[in-house]
Structure 1
Amino acid sequence: MSHSPLEQMFKPTSVVVVGATADENTPGNRIMRNLLAGTFLGPVLPVNDTGEAVAGMPGHTAIDTLPLTPDLAIICSPPESVAEHIAELGKRGTRAVVVLSQGFYRYDGERREVQRNAVLQAARRHGVRVLGPNCLGFVSPAVGINASLMPRKALPGKVAFVSQSDSLFSTVLDWATSKKIGFSHCIALGDRYDIHFHDILDYLNSDVNTRAVLLYLETIDKARRFMSAARALARNKPVLVVKSGRSAEGAAAAAAHSGMPLGADDVYDAAFRRAGMLRVADIDTLFNAVEALALARPLKGERLAILTNGGSPGFIATDALIRGGGTLADLSDATCQLLDDSLGRDWSYWNPLVMRSSAGGELYARALNHLLEDRGVDAVLAMHVPSYAVPSEEVAEAVTKVARRSKKVVLTSWLGIDDAEAARRHFTAQGVPTFFTPDSAVRAFLNLVEFRRNQDLLMETPPSLPDDFMPDALAARRVVNDALEAKRQILDPAEARAVLEAYGIPVAEALHVREPREVVEAAVRLGYPVAIKVESPDVARRSVVGGVALDVKTDEEALDAALVTAERVCAQVPGARMTGFTVQRMCHIGAGSELAVETATDPVFGPVIRFGQGGAASETYPDRATGLPPLNLGLAQELMSRTRAGRTLRPAETGAVKLLLVKVSQLIIDIPEIFELEIDPLFADDDGIVALDAHIRIAWTTRSGTDQLAIRPYPRELEEHAHLRDGREVLLRPIRPEDEPDHWAFVEHLSAEDKRFRFFGNVAQLPRSEMVKLTQIDYDREMAFIARGPGEDGATTTLGVVRAMASPDNSEAEFAVAVRSDLKRQGLGRMLMEKIIRYCRTRGTRRIVGAALGDNKAMAELARAVGFVVSKNYDEDTWQLDLPLADPQDKSPDDARS
């Protein structure tokens, strides 16, 4: 029996149905029939009050009378009995339960919470995992089990489908079966009392039968766990997601249906992108995209060539590509000459490449081969219009032969219904992606492009921050705390300026005065022209209520502007308190750019950062992109690239704005009381950046900035200094993505034997994908401490590393440690081991385990010295290392599933 409850759930060897009944059209009867109708080989045991037989299987009156302990229990009894049954099953040893009972409240929040608490208390007391309630169950074709209320059988395959919606679960299952699409698992989550998206994603990440994952979701909770699981899964397998609620009305309906907080759709977009997932618009696109991802070669670039025997389909595909933001490949002169020679000048002489309608397989093969050999072409879409002269299947066979020899992506679209059916079957059998229409083929290509960009984002090594970025967090915190003590929610302009300057964000020179007559004196001191802005704790957006006057050039205009702006604010906001005016030197845009940076707090994902067009132009041309903190310079660049404003910046402006975004990200992490910040406009030119106006809203909070984020930031608090035996000082700190270059050098300084000990085999050089995994870690479930100190040449470099990867429930962490081969016997290995043990103990991990090769006696001795129980596995010739940190009965902080 597996140790994982989810493994027992989705691959059980025995099933009990509690509440099974002979009455048709009831869940207890339908589930029995579905279980017995499949190829599931294990026993199916019905339990009911009378002990009656169901679907030919002898019944049992109680759980404790069962002849065996089932892996999986499916409960169909009334809701008020479910908690009791879960407790009975848990005592018996069953660890996986699906609740199909009817009558659980969804819209009555108070009653729903009572039912939920009863189920969870019973489940947690006995270590049971619960799927549902209000769900249809699941289907796992690999083991032949249909543990759902859907009579439709699912075909076996390598794609997992996970749905928050029962209605979509049944629709997709029906649709996919008719299209001969198979699944490894189809899972309906229902109301997610216990098992959430992150639990399923973690399970599918380790499931060898699953190669790609499709998600339908409406809302999520536990954003950090979702992001951790999604990022881990997306590094190994394609993850595609459809999310309802793109409109405000749709999002509100989805939130009401699920009883979860309403999050902004652009924030969900940012989260999916940050996790390396691909979001698609609808179910058709979902399956088209997964076909392309599953069958196509990895995409190396974004330039598409289009090959067709009909002009109109080629033009339609081109329009779809350009409208979707794609890139049409430019054919090289050499390729054009080859095409001219092969096609006899009977082609369009541009991309899309249109041949004569009667082009046969040989011409298609020649043209496709030349396109694939062009270095300016990253992928080819081959299309065919039915022709009386050549059977479409013959052309398909020729295209397939060329496509299978190439390492580049080839997509196909054979138009027509009956005439193209044989060709489509051929492509599917040969593993070549094929689509019914040019539009759907182009959408699939654009999805490949987006997926590649998201994966590149996961793999990118960010540049290091400048050494001189040393924010004065204490100064900023004093300003915020003083305002909170004064019971103010909005910082005045002088306070906002002080907070930004504490983080090295330049703010335009300004003077703050109380009376209108003082405005003139301030303007003279600064020099005309100036901007005059009303100060009021009751006004959040001064420009919206007429509280700003720009380009004031004389004393008379200055006095008049002060009076007029104050009057306008009083008229727009009756009762608003006037505390004075800000007089600021005007910055004329000229060749520079007006930008905006803002932060907000999303109810699902916490703090977010938005960037885009600023100033008056933003009202006419909305242009904002959203990102999740923490940001590094690479992520800041990606955020900017998704806006017109960011793409048009000059290099000097780009560098300054990237750094500002990272500073803002750090500010809202360090000062979690800042729940809304806006810098608009932010002026950028070749000389740098300057904030012309800033608005900061604050509130008391008991949560740290780290706890509020959906992605755990770099834990700076874990840094510490230590000394080696030779007196050399080292910094022990968590690893960062930008450490990748030094980590290559560190691995190169390991001897061949040390590499074998660390990687359990002879390793010449690690692939970059592995190095990325070693340096770009999720601090929420993995930790790696590196020792940084002077190397042989005196330059600071990586001298050693220890890491621990925790299981999703934090019950166990597997460790590994390595020290540069020229630094042995300096005490560094023990120092790193003690560091990771302290960290795991603080985090609540229950035990640390590891393994070492049988001839690595030094590792066994080190582990024994720091408290591990060391035993020898003679069959595998390895040392087994085990360090209990907590009583197995204790619950770790991360173990609570609420």
Structure 2
Amino acid sequence: MATLHRPDPSLDIWKARSHPLDPIFLPRSVAVVGATEREGSVGRTVLWNLISHPFGGTVYPVNPKRHQVLGIRAYERLSALPEPVDLAIIAIPAAGVPAVIQECVETGVKGAIVLSAGFKEIGPEGLELEKAIQEAARGKLRLIGPNCLGIQNPHTGLNATFAAQMARPGNVGFISQSGALCTSILDWSLRENVGFSAFISLGSMLDVGWGDLIDYLGEDPHTHSIVLYMESIGDARSFVSAAREVALSKPIIVIKAGRTQAAAQAAASHTGSLTGSDAVLDAAFRRCGVLRVDHIEDLFDMAEVLAKQPRPQGPHLSILTNAGGPGVLATDTLIRAGGSLAQLSPQTLEQLNSILPPHWSHGNPIDILGDAGPERFAQALEIVLRDPASQGCLVILTPQAMTDPTATAAKVVETWRRSGSRQPILASWMGGDLVDAGEQILNQAGIPTYRYPDQAARVFSYLWRFSDNLKALYETPTLLPATAVERERVQPILGQARQQGRRLLTEVESKEILAAYGIPVVPTRVANSPEAAVEAAAEMGYPVVLKLYSHTLTHKSDVGGVQLNLPDAEAVRRAFAQIRRNVSEKAGPEHFQGVTVQPMIRTDGYELILGSSEDPQFGPVLLFGSGGQLVEVFQDRAIGLPPLNTTLARRLMENTLIYKALKGVRGRRAVNLEALEQLLVRFSQLVAEQRQIQEIDINPLLASGEQLLALDARVILRSEQEPPVPLAIRPYPSQYSWPFREGI
């Protein structure tokens, strides 16, 4: 065994904490199962890393074929150790791992890291091994891996990995599903002097997942921000719950691989896990305050800027530059990333006119020209930071013949500090050796610098997006009181369909469920004969619409099952016959059970779609956007997680293109957006409560200045053998509501 000295007594703060993952991150004794002296082996590398980086604990090699490894006494098995160990690091072939985990449990080991590969990523044989491990470990020890690099705790010196290097201590908690990416990031961090509070390779997440680690790092005093490289999310509910708890105090930044179908398939084969819908993941990240970025360098750019600068209150950026081209480049990136240029006030423009040469740009970007010295930069910056329209400022410098990058940097720092401004400030000192000293001055003062202005503009847009995402955390949806809905109307409808062996509800049944939740529906009557259709039309008043009534077909238009604008009885009879003929020819006569008769709604409104389906990881998800027959063509839709309140409903609407039209365009009246918000809230509650429903959509939902009306609806029930996926976000119940009793 090797006993190692804890390097820093001040770290005894850790003793005051008690967390299920402490045996992994703060072990007092570690066993390396599979320790060996074979050069290049994982077992040798891990053992060497542990004994060459003192972490204040004891290390025991476990190898049944050797009496010692690297000069340290070795033991045949875990049960032969002189004491129970906190952590077992397992580096043996996959087939032997279940037996070792069983021995861990029997000898009182509390944590394990399985470095071995060859589990579910290789197929059914590996999956059976994982099941055996879970059976042995469940509830008795916590496990990271398998198929991982291990973990490092730089603040204690623990290097429980087979990486060649040890991370520097810092305040960024880094978690990755890719071990190879871990080693690349580690190498980069040493060159760039980036430090970590924890460096974790997660592997296949057989036990410990994202939620566990976010929760752990959320309590860690050394961790100021959390950075994730994700291929699959695993336990979605655990992730959402932990992220919502931690994101308000510590930024969580994620890069999620698998945006394209090909990349998603590659990620799935790598981890052996379902990667999930990318659009649903985006919605989940927004809802729980997590910032998603697109490039690996953005992960650490955002960790740095969030540590140094305040969050912007809006997306409006001021750009101050001594060269027009870089300002244009930054503007392009800013707009594409969802930000905007600040509209400078007349007072600001007047003040800039008084200190700048006549040929300055007279707008934003603020081009103060190539001969600008440190004083001109400082004067212009002071004016811009006072403008209330500016919610962030980017200062760009290019090293021209008369430019002094170092003195300008000092002036920028002095001006920023004196201003007391609460808007974030970023800098792009473009160039090489000429600007190094200036960059150092800015960075030391807490102003992040970037060699290229488009990168700085992208960082500001991410910063704004993160600030906007956090607002969702303050939204706590409460279910509507019992008096606001008529739940007793729903169960008989669902029960009747179940008795008849149907999963597809009819249009009439679907609309009745919507009406029970206060969603306005167009009057609809069933007619089984032409005479019954004429009678219903006469009572409603012409013109009317006839639609297919079927227990088996959902898409009526695809089989010629819709006839519009019927002006009289004869037209109704012809339409009835035409629908029956169309359905018989295209699908078969058994799919025709009659028609529904509805009044023809004449309005100049917009056709929307509002729906929900079940994601295998996040449970029910909501969809809102442009509807009608061309819904799949336009693809204008936004996705959210139920339940909603009115603020979250408005945010969902704002993420669509049709939202601009709903506010009124080209002389058309605006839709009552407050009423539409309420309708979305009611629909989200229906989805959250009626878990027998697997899919539901309203298409089209007609929205005009006069009314909101569900013209058509479709409901599909889940199989009775298929349990519902739990809601990713649990609503706070109102004192009258049923059946929820859990908080978020």
Q: Same fold by TM (over 0.5)?
A: yes
Question: In 1, distance between residues paired with 2:99 and 2:506?
Answer: 58
* Structure 1 stretches lacking a partner, 5+ long: 721-732, 735-777, 781-898
Matches within 5 A, 1:85-484: 85-109=100-124, 111-124=125-138, 127-405=140-418, 406-460=421-475, 470-484=484-498
Query: Secondary structure, in 3 states, of the residue corresponding to 1:249?
Result: helix
Deviation at 1:517, TM superposition (A): 4.8
Q: How does 1:858-897 map to 2 (within 5 A)?
A: none
> Which residue of structure 2 aligns with residue 487 of structure 1?
501
TM-score by length of 1: 0.76
Instruction: Sort the Cα spacing of 1:544 and 1:248 in 2 relative to 1 into closer, same or farther, 3 A.
Output: farther
Query: What TM-score does the superposition give when structure 2 sets the normalisation length?
Result: 0.91
CA contact (8 A) 2:232 2:275 kept: yes
The DSSP-based 3-state class of the residue aligned with 2:99 is helix
Partner of 2:4: none
Alignment check: 8 A CA contact 2:481 2:735 kept: no
Provide the rounded CA distance (Å) in 2 between the counterparts of 1:81 and 1:262.
28
Structure 1 residues 639-648 or 355-364, which shifts more? 639-648
Deviation at 1:466, TM superposition (A): 7.7
Specify every segment of 5 or more residues in structure 2 that has no aligned partner in the other structure, as ranges: 1-14, 664-669
In structure 2, C-alpha distance between the alignment counterparts of 1:200 and 1:454, rounded to whole Å? 21
3-state SS in 2 of match to 1:142? coil
| Corresponding residue for residue 26 of structure 2 | 11
Match of 1:678 in 2: 697
Equivalent residue of 2:65, what SS? coil
Instruction: Tell me if 1:578 matches 2:598.
Output: no
Distance 1:210 1:627 in 2: 30
Residues 475/243 of structure 1: CA separation in 2 closer, same or farther (3 Å cut): same
- Relative to structure 1, the CA distance from residue 569 to residue 719 in structure 2 (aligned partners, 3 Å threshold; closer, same or farther) is closer
Bigger mean CA deviation after superposition, 386-395 or 451-460 = 386-395
8 Å CA contact retained: 2:405, 2:435: yes
Select the residue among 606, 623, 632 that pairs with 2:645. 632
SS in 2 for 1:656: helix
Distance 1:107 1:567, change over 3 A: farther
Distance 1:719 1:537, change over 3 A: closer
1:668, distance to aligned residue in structure 2 (A)? 2.3
1:755 corresponding residue in structure 2: none
Q: 1:539 to 1:382 in 2, by over 3 A?
A: same
Structure 2 residue identity aligned to 1:530: V
Q: Quick one: distance in 2 between partners of 1:65 and 1:157?
A: 38
The Cα of 1:573 is off from its aligned counterpart by 2.2
Contact 1:672 1:701 survives alignment (8 Å): no
- Which residue identity is paired with 1:270? A
Partners of 2:655 and 2:483 lie apart in 1 by 26
Contact 1:263–1:603 (8 Å) recurs in 2:
yes
- In 1, are the aligned partners of 2:584 and 2:590 still within 8 Å (CA)? yes
Greater shift, 300-309 or 552-561, is seen at: 552-561
TM-aligned CA deviation for residue 344 of structure 1 = 4.1
Does residue 528 of structure 2 align to residue 514 of structure 1? yes
Specify whether residues 568 and 180 from structure 1 end up closer, same or farther in structure 2 by C-alpha distance, changes over 3 A only.
farther
The residue correspondences of 1:736-815 to structure 2 (distance < 5 A) are: 779=743
Amino acid aligned to 2:698: I
Contact 1:308–1:384, Cα closer than 8 Å, also in 2: yes
The 2-side partners of 1:248 and 1:50 are apart by: 47
Query: Residue 81 of structure 1: which of 90, 96, 101 is its match?
Result: 96
Instruction: Supply the distance in 1 between the matched residues of 2:630 and 2:116 (Cα, whole angstroms).
Output: 56
Whether 1:710 and 2:724 are equivalent positions in the alignment is no
Q: Which amino acid aligns with 1:660?
A: L
**Cα offset, 1:282, TM superposition:** 2.2
Q: Secondary structure at the match of 2:314?
A: coil
Question: What is the CA–CA distance in structure 2 between the aligned matches of 1:524 and 1:567, rounded to whole Å?
Answer: 24
Q: C-alpha separation between the residues in 1 aligned to 2:568 and 2:407? A: 82
Amino acid at match of 1:687: E
Cα gap change, 1:389 to 1:638, in 2 (>3 Å): same
CA contact (8 A) 1:27 1:101 kept: no
User: 1:479-529: CA deviations, max 9, x gaps?
Assistant: 011011101111112212221111111111232211245434433332232
Determine the C-alpha separation between the residues in 2 that align with 1:576 and 1:633.
44
Superposed CA offset, 1:533-565 (max 9, x none): 111222111123322122233444433333333
Deviation larger for 259-268 or 482-491: 259-268
Change (3 A) 1:102 1:247: closer
C-alpha spacing 1:716/1:322, structure 2 compared with 1 (3 Å) = closer
The CA distance in 1 between the partners of 2:263 and 2:483, in whole Å, is: 43
Deviation at 1:619, TM superposition (A): 4.3
How many residues in Structure 1 have an aligned counterpart in Structure 2? Answer: 720
Shift of 1:694: 0.6
State the partner residue of 1:599.
612
Q: Distance in 1 between matches of 2:287 and 2:522?
A: 33
Q: Give the letter for the 2:200 counterpart.
A: I
Match of 1:527 in 2: 541
Alignment partners' CA distance in 1, 2:683 and 2:104 = 51
Displacement, 1:703? 8.0
Q: CA RMSD in A?
A: 2.5
In the alignment, what sits opposite 1:54?
Answer: 69
Q: Deviations over 1:719-746 (max 9, x none)?
A: 79xxxxxxxxxxxx97xxxxxxxxxxxx
The 8 Å contact of residues 253 and 292 in structure 2, kept in 1 or not, is answered as yes
Query: 1:702: how far off?
Result: 6.9
Distance in 1 (CA, whole Å) between partners of 2:188 and 2:602 is 59
Alignment check: 8 A CA contact 1:241 1:286 kept = yes
Q: Does residue 669 of the first structure (1) align with residue 693 of the second (2)?
A: no
1:190 is displaced (CA, Å) by: 0.9
Matches within 5 A, 1:649-668: 649-650=662-663, 653-668=672-687
1:574-605 per-residue CA deviation (whole Å, 9 max, x = no partner) reads 45520011121122231x32211011011111
- Match for residue 35 of structure 1 among 47, 50, 55: 50
* Residue 621 of structure 2: aligned partner: 608
SS in 1 for 2:715: strand
- Aligned residue for 2:514? 500
Whether the 8 Å contact between 1:646 and 1:654 is mirrored in structure 2 is: no
Q: Identity percentage over the alignment?
A: 38
Cα distance 1:139–1:336, how it changes in 2: closer, same or farther (>3 A)? Answer: same
Q: What is the Cα deviation at residue 389 of structure 1?
A: 1.4
1:23 to 33, 38, 49: 38
* Deviation per residue, 1:154-201 (Å, 9 max, x gap): 222111111122222222222333322221111111111111111111
Residues 497 and 174 (structure 1), Cα distance of their counterparts in 2 relative to 1, 3 Å cut: same
User: Hey, what's the Cα distance between the residues in 1 that align with 2:117 and 2:107?
Assistant: 24
Q: Which has the higher contact order (CA 8 A, sep 6+)?
A: 2
In structure 2, distance between residues paired with 1:118 and 1:278? 36
Amino acid at match of 1:549: Q
Q: What residue number does 1:861 align with?
A: none
Letter in 1 for 2:208: I
**Shift in Å at residue 148 of structure 1?**
1.1
Q: Is contact 2:503-2:719 (8 Å) kept?
A: no
CA distance in 2, matches of 1:305, 1:717: 48
- Maintained 8 Å contact 1:530/1:586: yes
* 1:48 maps to amino acid: N
The 1:461/1:26 distance shift into structure 2, 3 A limit, reads closer
Q: Quick check: 1:539–1:576 contact (8 Å CA) kept in 2?
A: no
SS of structure 2 residue aligned to 1:708 = coil
On the 8 A contact 2:552/2:591 being kept in 1, the answer is yes
Contact 2:534 2:572 in 1 (8 A): yes
Whole-Å separation in 2 of the counterparts to 1:513 and 1:218: 52
Secondary structure of the residue aligned to 1:9 is helix
Q: CA deviation at 1:413?
A: 1.1
